[in-house]
Structure 1
Amino acid sequence: MKKYALITGASGGIGRAVAQTLAEQGYHLYLHYHLNKGSIDSLMADLSGRFGGEYVPIQADLGRACGYKDILPKIFGLDAIVHCGGTSVYGLFQDLTDEEAGRLFNIHTLNPILLTKALLPKLLAKKSGNIVFISSIWGETGAACEAVYSAAKGAQISFVKALSKELAPSGIRVNAIAPGAVETAMLNQFTNTELADIASEIPMGRLGRPDEIANGVVFLVSDLSSYITGQVLSINGGWYT
């Protein structure tokens, strides 16, 4: 039986790794992106060459209010939703603009929540399915100079915990992954020296890799985690426990 998964933010480092890992598991994929069409084109070529599944690109701006609606007409069969879309604004809280704050909450919280609501009937009809949010270590403990990002990621975790209780009787599991510092473009704003300082604070002594986050996703959507819902899987090298 064919399995379909929607991955938001599939053009990013973690989203791309999730796509590759799920495709390897036999999933057919809806690959959402905003601006980086080149990344999606190369990802689709890679997946088609290696796995031969069905891979559908979907463009939508989730930083815009109700941007999730542009995704809905492209989704048919569905077994899993993996919310990977994300961006951050690093700086003092008082310097954050209203527009930046709005986009952060649209991207991380409001659009993913409303997208989940709109697609939920497809999972309810099957009495099965998985929803996974890629949250953040900062959603668990908070980060200076990323106050609103931390708030949005914390909201994701609260939503996961609440929705999981509501959907458990219907056979749908809802979980989150909270990565620490991961080698993706989101860290490009830091110098090599700053990244080395971050790595030195992590008990495992290094940054995470996107594939390590993707492996967590595969576990959470598989039968190996069939009795796990409402949980936050912290993949952070021991940085926050």
Structure 2
Amino acid sequence: MKSFKVLFATLIVAVMFMVGAGVASAQSPTNPGFPERINPSSEFCGQQGPRNLGACAAGLSQQYRSAAGLNTTPKYLYVRYAGVSQVGWGVNGPVACAFHESVTLYCNGSVHLGENTLKDIASKLPVNPEAYATFLAAHEATHHTQTTTGGTNLFPIFTSSKVQPFEQQADCVGGAAIGYWVMQGRFSETDALALQAQLRMSPTTTTHASGDKRAAAFETGYRSSSLNDCIGGAFAPTPLV
């Protein structure tokens, strides 16, 4: 049980604000609960509430992935409370997915969208909420592609600097997703620039590059005509399609 608690704490510390909106929530969970399955659909776009925002973003992420030939599909989960779910056993004990309402992350085939993160995107950031949430969903879904299509097990490295090229690649694909929706007329160039400016403010962490590098990765994807531009160099060599 002790190793399980330590692993849970490590997971929470490792993923806090890795990709999130950049606004921390001071609220603590008051009830236990597990993530709820989201139905990804653009039909939820324009509707009020964080759950609808998450479903909209998941739907736009999936539509982009289909158009780009990213054919593997993660689950999308709405997270209202902090917790941990065991997904297997490793040599050092339980292997688990931690989740938190103020965190957006990928684990074990699922994109976890935190309720507080979605609320903060909608109310506290100078950016189109649907554009920012779509970027987050597309970023995290890229980790699913890296795992399934690319055959990379990110779990052993996700708390170390070795994961940075994979995070950079996810920022690049997230930028490509926003570029796709700008071309489709759903988002504007102004939306994309505001999102990029927000990324530039991201702090440097062990797992993520500097804000300037993240903004540059986003722009590479946003301006690209092929996902091949998100492979190699500063990005992971992992194939995407």
Shorter-normalised TM-score: what interval?
under 0.3
TM (norm. structure 1) is: 0.27
TM (norm. structure 2) is: 0.27
